[in-house]
Amino acid sequence: MAKKKPVFDNDFRSNAVRYVQQHTNLTMKECAANLGVGRSTLSRWISESKKSENGSVEMRGTGNFESDEAKEIARLRRELRDTKDALEILKKAIGILGD
């Protein structure tokens, strides 16, 4: 059975970045192990905090939409993208088989 990825809130992420900044004697790998996160995850949080205006780490969207309409729009956009991809594949197949 697959393990579920842990979800870290914004406070944890910001505190993790602060932890790394305060513990300069530790490597990134050691800090990540102490915090129980992956090294690459911690590195990404640090990069994101440097890019943000207030130094906080923003969470990625999880698909929680403001309304049912926004959810429907996102679903339709995915469906349109998938349909366009399928159409391109069919066009290429016709080109190959037509020769």
Q: Which domain holds residue 91?
A: 63-99
DSSP string, the chain: -PPPPP---HHHHHHHHHHHHH-TTS-HHHHHHHHTS-HHHHHHHHHHHHHSSSS--PPPP-S--SSHHHHHHHHHHHHHHHHHHHHHHHHHHHHHHH-
Measured CA to CA, the distance from residue 15 to residue 83 in angstroms comes to 43
Q: 5-9, 45-49, 75-79, 93-97: which range is least confident on average? A: 5-9
Is 58 a domain residue?
no
Is 94 within the bounds of a domain?
Answer: yes
Q: Say how far apart CA 10 and CA 58 lie, in whole Å.
A: 6
Is 56 contained in some domain? Answer: no
Residue 98 lies in a domain: yes
Statement to judge: residues 93 and 70 lie in one domain:
yes
Instruction: Say if 3 falls within a structural domain.
Output: no
How many folded domains does the chain comprise?
Answer: 2
In this structure, is residue 87 part of a structural domain?
yes
Whole-number pLDDT of residue 32: 92
- Dump pLDDT digits (tens) for 2-28: 677 777 888 888 899 999 989 889 899
Q: Residue 21 corresponds to which tokens in the numbers above? A: 């900044």
